[in-house]
Amino acid sequence: MSAGVVKVGLLGLGTVGGGVIKTIRLQQEKLFARLGKRIEIVKALVRDSEKERAVQVDPALLTTNFEDVLKSDVDIVVEVMGGVEPTYDYVRALIEKGCHVVTANKELLAKRGPELVELANRHQVHLAYEASVAGGIPILSVLRQFLRTNDIHGVRGILNGTTNFILTKMEAEQLPYQEVLKQAQELGYAEADPRSDVEGFDAMYKLYILAQLVYGESLPLANVVRKGIADLSPGHIRIASELGYRIKLIAQAQKTEQGIRLSVQPTMLPLAHPLAQIQDSFNAVQLSGNIVGDLLFTGRGAGELPTASAVVEDLAYLLTQPFTPHPAWEEKTAEAQPAQAEDERVLCYLEGSCPAATPDRVLHFLREAGVTVTKLKVQFDLGGVLRAGLIATGIREEHEAVLKSDFGLDVRCFPLLETA
């Protein structure tokens, strides 16, 4: 690294990349005063060097050819292009040249993290990725700090702002999923192809990274319970609310006797639960330590500047810390896990218009089958459609099958988060 200048290469110059340039410019003096070094972007890999950009960049810095970045002798690469191919190959080539890495790419870390960590350690370069989880919330550095003095039992949170925005709007305006998704796309809160967000992939990648940090290991992505929000209806949300609950897409890492359990799924939270209060596109992470107790961190989980803030903090961190080896990342396979344990309480939503499906008969069947129902809300509309929500323990797949075949009911069970 030359004396007063840090040469930074950017892979990608989209929303976050533009935010990184803006932040470095805006906070130039502050960064220089603190670091004693000037941060200079010397090359930026883009898909289209002719494209209009929100941030003004010297055209000579732009290239569409990765080899130009590799040749430009950068000290640090900031990877904000996303995806795994060809990103992984680019990052690997730069690490092999002794370049430190700052990345916001959760998918890359969740799919190739163990190799990247090993590679960075071998070449004695920093691999920093605060921006990959929960945007501007400094959850990784806070977790690292707490791990020094606490055993962390578990971490859970709302890690995807797009789905939280959609769920908030579905509840507030009683609109169906598809309509809210369209609005979110128009507002720029959801991508044209929304699957990574709404099917829970994005939250799952972030959860994978949190688990690596907290437990020193994670699960292969195929072993993570993952359910999205695309099949949620205003009926689910309304019944939940009448029973005193709110649906959130909750990502959760727990250590059980069987090993780590990771899940991302629509979950019912009592209205007073701190995570039930997190609305719109906000993210929140709750962690439980044996000494510190429960802590909750809330902030914008995405967006140009909050994410850029985390990237630039990582840059500042690299420049003030000597290299120390990154703890290895491991993956342990686990048996496929059910969405919830058999004896857990669930909120079960039933909907159908078959005359056989009277509340009395449904309850009678469940009681005979050994299911304990502690709370029930029933609605009939003028078209004779029954919508019911019940809080129950002991509902198993076989019961759901009978409710469908004998009572003509669509059934959807949601796990409940009981404790704060």
Taking a C-beta distance cutoff of 8 angstroms, is the pair 410, 262 a contact? no
Min dist. Cβ of residue 140 to a copy of itself (A)? 11
Beta-bridge partner residues of 149: none
CB of 141 to a copy of itself, least distance (A): 6
Q: Does 138 bind a copy of itself (CB under 8 A)?
A: yes
Q: How many CB atoms lie within 10 A of CB 411?
A: 18
**What CA–CA distance (Å, rounded) separates 332 from 63?**
40
Which residue stretch of 26-34, 108-116, 161-169, 263-271 sits at the interface with a copy of itself (rule: CB under 8 A)? 26-34
- Cis omega (within 30 of 0) on the bond before 176? no
306 in contact with a copy of itself (CB under 8 A) = yes
Q: Does 89 bind a copy of itself (CB under 8 A)?
A: no
Distance of alpha carbon 319 from the chain centroid: 28
Residue 312 engages a copy of itself in binding (rule: CB under 8 A): yes
Candidate list 42, 57, 119, 142; residue touching a copy of itself; CB under 8 A: 142
Q: In angstroms, rounded to a whole number, what is the distance separating the alpha carbons of residues 71 and 47?
A: 18
Candidate residues 36, 86, 274, 338; the one interacting with a copy of itself per rule CB under 8 A: 274
- Specify the residue for token string 């491991």: 330
Site string for a copy of itself, 143-182 (x = CB under 8 A): --xx-xxxx-------------------------------
120: how many CB neighbours lie within 10 A of its CB?
22
In the complex with a copy of itself, the residue whose CB is nearer, 114 or 299, is 299
* Closer residue to a copy of itself, CB minimum distance, 117 or 134: 134
Of 86-94, 248-256, 287-295, 359-367: span binding a copy of itself (CB under 8 A):
287-295
CB 249 within 8 A of CB 164: yes
206 is catalytic: yes
Active site residues: 206
Which residue ranges make up the site for a copy of itself (CB under 8 A)? 23, 26-27, 30-31, 34, 136-138, 141-142, 145-146, 148-151, 274, 277, 289-300, 303, 305-306, 308-310, 312-313, 316
